[in-house]
Amino acid sequence: MKLESVTAELRPRSDWEAVDLGIALVRRDFWKLSRAWWLGMTPVLLIGLPLLREHLFWFTFVFWWWIPVASRLSLFKLSRILFGDNPGFKPLLREFPRAIRRRFFYRMIWARFSPWRPLTMAVEDLEGLRGKDYAARCRILMRRGDSSVIMLALWRLALGFWLALTIFCTGMLFVPEGPGAMWKETISLWWEGNLADPPTGLAVAVAGSLCVSFWLVDLFSTGCGFGIYVNYRTWIEGWDVELAFRRLGNRLRGISGVIVASLLFFGLSGGLRAEEPANPKETIERVLQHEDFTVHQQTTKEWQGWDNAWSLGSGLGALGGLWTVLQILFFGGLLFLLGWLIYRFRHVFSGGRGARVPAEPAKARVVMGMEVTAESLPRDVPAAAMAAWREGRHQEAMSLLYRGSISWMIRHGRVEIAESDTENDCLGRVDRAGSGHLGYFRMLTGDWVRLAYARELPSDARVEELCGHWPFREGGQL
């Protein structure tokens, strides 16, 4: 594993930021990972499909049961791409048998329904741990809280069926009228509890929708689990710190080489200039006869303290002025340091009345990509939002209301909202802070989420109600 070759930013993240990292990694190399995933499903397609073409329910079940093998191949590809490698088809083929036989009965039977599979599979495949070491490693990685992994498992279950239903209903729009009527009649019988044999086309459509859904959901959930795994190892092992030291070492390596080369050059050149004296004794006597080696004697009765220190420069000839300047700088620095210490710890002399107050943490200026500072908002938020709504700028109107409420919660409600928080995170923080107006903020958050993510517009009456009951400062002003 070469940390210096990593293709993503390694830094400590929150759990859901780590999930976003995994999704981004899968989205960046989606087709490469998809080819690895479908390579893992080739035994089911080549063997199961011919044998079970008349029993598509059992084919779908076998397809779902074989998914961990495909997950392992996509995880193998994803982990190598992250650290600067891009294995081709041959490395995937060599990994394919190991992906099948590696703890086959544990992974495919005992732990098949484990909600922690996207995370624990990374420990099992990438670190090669087994038994007690494997269990201890998993406990360490999930010590920061496995709630995000559980939520990821619930998301995987719900999204799998929802996506399959979406694909099937979209396909129904393109079915001709004759077969479409027969399909609808069969579906209505199923809805009433009568499990009639479906037409072949309907069975193929249902099985195909489920298989495509399994592919997409498992590919992205594997990426999410890998993102959480990388984030936990970054927290535990300090990968970001190690990378910083490696970069610093690479920069200093070139500088140190220059310094060593310079020292060697000057040392060798000095050695070449040195001349061996013909008679060392004569040379020593000649040097000692110089006036600099004349012995001067001075007898004093006592040390005069500061007077002798200040008058020492008189015996230094031309350096006397420099000595005086150095003395002034030295004692001036001592006086400055003493004054600064007295000012810095002045609360000690005033009985604690002047103790420093801890600095207030920096307030978020951007939340979910939206400016929430007072300068970025109009003075009368509900009036501006209502005007934008009437002009047809619905997204801007709801954004003004939501940004205004977030801004008020940060500056006046004392709610510590982080820039990386989602809508649910903000709602939870407001609830825990008990800053008031929780009911209005919950109602506004619900309308904003439905508009931002589901494109579901609130009614005109609802927007008028939100603007008319704006609770943040009288008159709607921030």
Stretch 435-460: mean pLDDT, rounded? 84
Residue 263: inside a domain: no
Residue 315: inside a domain: no
Residue 334: inside a domain: no
Confidence grade of residue 475 (pLDDT, cut at 50, 70, 90)? very low
Residue 120: inside a domain: yes
pLDDT attached to residue 310? 44
Same-domain pairing of 239 and 373: no
- Specify the range with the lowest mean pLDDT, choosing from 80-94, 96-110, 463-477: 463-477
pLDDT attached to residue 42? 92
Residue 162: inside a domain: yes
Whole-angstrom Cα distance, residue 344 to residue 342?
A: 6
Phi and psi of 365, rounded to 5°?
Answer: -105, -25
Q: Is a pLDDT exceeding 80 seen at residue 190? A: no
pLDDT attached to residue 34? 93
Residues 6 or more apart in contact with residue 43 via CB below 8 angstroms = 66
How many domains, the chain? Answer: 2
Give the residue with greater pLDDT, 312 vs 148: 148
Q: Is a pLDDT exceeding 50 seen at residue 165? A: yes
Confidence grade of residue 176 (pLDDT, cut at 50, 70, 90)? confident
Q: Is a pLDDT exceeding 90 seen at residue 41? A: yes
Stretch 314-341: mean pLDDT, rounded? 66
pLDDT attached to residue 361? 57
**Angular region, 351: left φ>0, alpha ψ -120 to 50, beta rest:** left
Confidence grade of residue 472 (pLDDT, cut at 50, 70, 90)? confident
Residue 181: inside a domain: yes
pLDDT attached to residue 215? 94
Give the residue with greater pLDDT, 400 vs 420: 400
> Which domain covers residue 199, as residue numbers?
3-244
Stretch 32-56: mean pLDDT, rounded? 90
Residue 381: inside a domain: yes
Q: Is a pLDDT exceeding 60 seen at residue 429? A: yes
Same-domain pairing of 183 and 49: yes
Of the candidates 142, 141, 134, the residue with the CA atom closest to the CA atom of residue 107? 134
Q: Of 225, 244, 263, which one is at a domain's C-terminal end? A: 244
- CA 129 to chain CA centroid, Å, is 26
Of the candidates 383, 398, 401, the residue with the CA atom closest to the CA atom of residue 454? 398
Same-domain pairing of 370 and 222: no
pLDDT attached to residue 306? 42
The token pair at 458 is 């609130």
Residue 220: inside a domain: yes
> For 451-466, b where at least 16 C-beta lie within 10 A, e where not — what string?
beeeeeebeeeebeeb
Give the residue with greater pLDDT, 335 vs 389: 389
The token pair at 101 is 């036989």
pLDDT attached to residue 283? 77
Same-domain pairing of 239 and 100: yes
- Specify the range with the lowest mean pLDDT, choosing from 5-9, 109-113, 168-172, 193-197: 193-197
pLDDT attached to residue 210? 93
Query: Residue 120's CB: how many other CB atoms inside 10 A?
Result: 23
pLDDT of 64-85, one tens digit each? 999 999 999 999 999 888 877 8
- Specify the range with the lowest mean pLDDT, choosing from 249-258, 279-288, 366-375, 397-406: 249-258
The token pair at 256 is 């140190």
SS3 for the chain is CCHHHCCCCCCCCCHHHHHHHHHHHHHHCHHHHHHHHHHHCHHHHHHHHHHCCCCHHHHHHHHHHCHHHHHHHHHHHHHHHHCCCCCCHHHHHHHHHHHHHCCHHHHHHHCCCCCCHHHHHHHHHHCCCCHHHHHHHHHHHCCCCCHHHHHHHHHHHHHHHHHHHHHHHHHHCCCCHHHHHHHHHHHHHHHCCCCCCCCHHHHHHHHHHHHHHHHHHHHHHHHHHHHHHHHHHHHHHCHHHHHHHHHHHHHHHHHHHHHHHHHHHHHHHHHHHCCCCCCHHHHHHHHHCCHHHCCCCCCCCCCCCHHHHHHHHHHHHHHHHHHHHHHHHHHHHHHHHHHHHHHHCHHHHCCCCCCCCCCCCCCCCEECCEECCHHHCCCEHHHHHHHHHHCCCHHHHHHHHHHHHHHHHHHCCCCCCCCCCCHHHHHHHHHHHCCCCHHHHHHHHHHHHHHHHHCCCCCHHHHHHHHHCCCCCHHHEC
pLDDT attached to residue 360? 55
Q: Of 220, 244, 268, which one is at a domain's C-terminal end? A: 244
Stretch 397-425: mean pLDDT, rounded? 85
pLDDT attached to residue 316? 47
Whole-angstrom Cα distance, residue 443 to residue 394?
A: 17
Q: Is a pLDDT exceeding 90 seen at residue 217? A: yes
Of the candidates 247, 239, 223, the residue with the CA atom closest to the CA atom of residue 3? 239
Whole-angstrom Cα distance, residue 230 to residue 236?
A: 10
Stretch 439-450: mean pLDDT, rounded? 87
pLDDT of 253-307, one tens digit each? 656 555 655 555 555 444 444 445 457 777 777 777 777 667 666 665 544 444 4
Is 44 within 8 Å of 66 (Cβ atoms)?
yes
Q: Of 229, 244, 259, which one is at a domain's C-terminal end? A: 244
Please, what is the average pLDDT of the chain?
78
Whole-angstrom Cα distance, residue 247 to residue 245?
A: 5
Residues 6 or more apart in contact with residue 93 via CB below 8 angstroms = 39
